[in-house]
Amino acid sequence: MSRSLIILHGGTVLTMDGARPTDAATRAADRPGVPDAAGRRASAICIAGDIVLAVGTDAEILALAEADSTVVDLAGRAILPGFVDPHAHPYWEGTVATRPSLEDAPDLRAAMRALPGAGEHLEPDAWIVARYNQARWLDGRHPTRDDLDRAVPDRPVVLAHVSGHAAVANSLALALAGITAATPDRPGAAVLLRDSTGEPTGVIEGTEAWAALAHAMPLPGPGEVDVAMRVAAARLAADGVTWVADADLGSVMTLEHELAAYGDAVARGTFPLGLSLMPGLVHLAPRPDDDPPTPADVMGRLPAAVRAAIVVRHVKLKADGALTTRTAWLMSPYADAPGHAGRPVHEPAALVERVRRAARAGWGVATHAIGDAGVVAVLDAYDAADAATDTADTAAGAVPHAAHRVEHGMLLEPAVVARLAARPRPIVAQPEFTAWAGDIYLRRLGEARAGRLLPYAELLAARVPLAFSSDRPVVAGAPLAGIRAALAHDAGISVAEALHAWTATAASVAGADRAGVLAAGRRADLVILPADPTAIPATAWAGGADGLVVVATFAGGRLVHGAIDGLRTAEPEEPGRPRRRRR
Ligand SMILES: [Zn+2]
């Protein structure tokens, strides 16, 4: 098969190949010839179809050019492996992008005044769904059903907290979802706040708060799904992301609906990025002693044509909630809520049982744990499940599974870092969180404990696999913003290490075996930046003065965002925008 080559030369190529992010000698720098966390450096790269054909010097790579090759002079720009986001929620991001946000309202009253307008263009029976973050409002209190009923009495309204760990509904939405004073609480998962008479106030807290209401909503139609998937892909590509994991499939609407949405979008080429899907374990196995289907079973529900393109290796599980909503599980009480320390979503024995059954079915388990008590409970469960799996299940012919991961892993006491050093488990962290909510974390935890949030340099020194991710749409999620936030949060890590956490390590935890590194035979996933990011001092990054933007993004050899030297995307980048005319 003939395939015309794309040659990019005259720049800096940071391959991440052979990178050594945790090597003490290279962390101290100034060792010429020793690869640092950015890996091997080159000046040119050749792409053939969807793979990298070669990386090397300008002379080596230009010698490969054929008559029909596209040759682009980078003029000093830099090429990195495309960013990999191993924990995001693209379908959720695509759907909320079309919905209003009340986050920018100064207070609750202003938010309620804005709400009726959100229903203006909707069908008469459609639900109003908007996002909110009461911690950003002056009065700082959650809205209640009464607030929502006064603003919009005649159609169902659900406000989803940006963290995903709380929601508020008006009376009509509560009625449609079957939620009454008699509805039992599920501690950690879905707890109804109640007034003095026991009536629900409309506020639901816990990891399943949204799900308690979403099951009553009509499923989005094919047109809405198509827009959501295109918007999600366009936003990711614009931020230089070429591979993404949906880290809780089935949590927005239903597992079947979301599998179909991704399967269809990948088959039609409207989601042109690498993709890992991580089903929510509670959707595969509702009770702790249910055996989940295997990864192959879930893969079998996708269209045959896309199975080779999608990675299905991890399930998502939640051990606790969020600091912003005081639902993360702490060893000792919140600084701003005496006597309250959050609580686990699953009892310890049930957590072990869920992990063990998932692992036996061939799944790596990726568990959300934010508070110090939540993280310890997850590590305990992984150790206990591993021990049980090693003895009983391996003998019974269980399939090997991907490494269990800790999602967020925010509050890490020294003893926990030491435990991770002894038995490494990947930490999938979200560096932008500390920039987004650092002031709230300080109030929730007090100064001493807040100082133990996300100790990146300690984790790297302990050789813990540290991957960066976004959790978008909880935050905006651009990897460049994440690097700025990481370097502002912890002066002990280097720019190259932050880049490594967004590429090579992120790819390995996402199961993206051919992504994350630029080398012959790897996926042609790359991002072009205006200059070598490692040549910009970390202090400039931390101060937001790096001046970098994403110039162009290639996913699988295809330009999916931006333009460079005559190469430009063929498709409009966001649906609805006019197609750019080719010159
Ligand atoms: Zn998440």
Closest C-alpha to 54, from 9, 102, 120: 9
555 CA from centroid of ligand 1 (Å) = 23
548 CA from centroid of ligand 1 (Å) = 26
* C-beta separation of 426 from 468 below 8 A: no
Determine the pLDDT at residue 23: 55
315 CA from centroid of ligand 1 (Å) = 12
Determine the pLDDT at residue 222: 92
Tokens 């009625």 found at: 175
481 CA from centroid of ligand 1 (Å) = 18
Which stretches of 122-221 are DSSP H helices? Answer: 145-151, 171-176, 209-214
Q: What is the tens place of the pLDDT at every residue in 411-458?
A: 999 999 999 999 999 999 999 999 999 999 999 999 999 999 999 999
Buried b (16+ CB within 10 A) or exposed e, 543-557: eeebebebbbbbbbb
470 CA from centroid of ligand 1 (Å) = 8
ω before 473 within 30° of 0 (cis)? yes
- Strand pairing of 191-194 and 200-205? antiparallel
* 456 Rama sector, left if φ>0, alpha if ψ -120 to 50, beta otherwise: alpha
316 CA from centroid of ligand 1 (Å) = 9
Tokens for 96, please give them: 């909320």
96 CA from centroid of ligand 1 (Å) = 14
Q: Which stretches in the chain have pLDDT values below 70?
A: 1-3, 20-35, 390-399, 570-583
565 CA from centroid of ligand 1 (Å) = 37
Tokens 């989601």 found at: 271
CA–chain centroid gap for 308, Å, is 22
141 CA from centroid of ligand 1 (Å) = 23
Tokens 């949405």 found at: 261
Closest C-alpha to 133, from 158, 105, 109: 105
Q: Which helix (H) or strand (E) holds 245?
A: strand 241-249
467 CA from centroid of ligand 1 (Å) = 14
Rounded Cα distance between 563 and 72, Å, is 11
* C-beta separation of 435 from 453 below 8 A: no
Tokens for 582, please give them: 């080719």
Which stretches of 451-494 are DSSP H helices? Answer: 456-461, 479-489
CA end-to-end distance (rounded Å), the chain? 29
Rounded Cα distance between 317 and 273, Å, is 24
Closest C-alpha to 20, from 506, 463, 534, 568: 463
65 CA from centroid of ligand 1 (Å) = 44
DSSP-based three-state secondary structure for 122:
coil
Q: What is the tens place of the pLDDT at every residue in 475-489?
A: 999 999 999 999 999
475 CA from centroid of ligand 1 (Å) = 10
Determine the pLDDT at residue 503: 97
CA–chain centroid gap for 142, Å, is 26
What is the DSSP track for 531-578? S-GGGS-HHHHHTT-------EEEETTEEEEEEETTEE-SS-SSTTSP
469 CA from centroid of ligand 1 (Å) = 10
Percent composition of the chain: helix, strand, coil (DSSP 3-state, to 5): 35, 20, 45
Rounded Cα distance between 253 and 320, Å, is 21
252 CA from centroid of ligand 1 (Å) = 11
Eight-state DSSP code of residue 286: S
247 CA from centroid of ligand 1 (Å) = 6
282 CA from centroid of ligand 1 (Å) = 15
450 CA from centroid of ligand 1 (Å) = 21
468 CA from centroid of ligand 1 (Å) = 13
461 CA from centroid of ligand 1 (Å) = 26
What Cα–Cα distance (Å) separates residue 363 from each residue in 313, 351, 353, 402? 6, 15, 13, 6
Eight-state DSSP code of residue 16: -
| 14 phi and psi angles, rounded to 5 deg | -95, 110
Rounded Cα distance between 475 and 237, Å, is 16
Determine the pLDDT at residue 120: 84
89 CA from centroid of ligand 1 (Å) = 7
408 CA from centroid of ligand 1 (Å) = 8
171 CA from centroid of ligand 1 (Å) = 28
Residue 197: CB atoms within 10 Å: 6
Whether pTM exceeds 0.85: yes
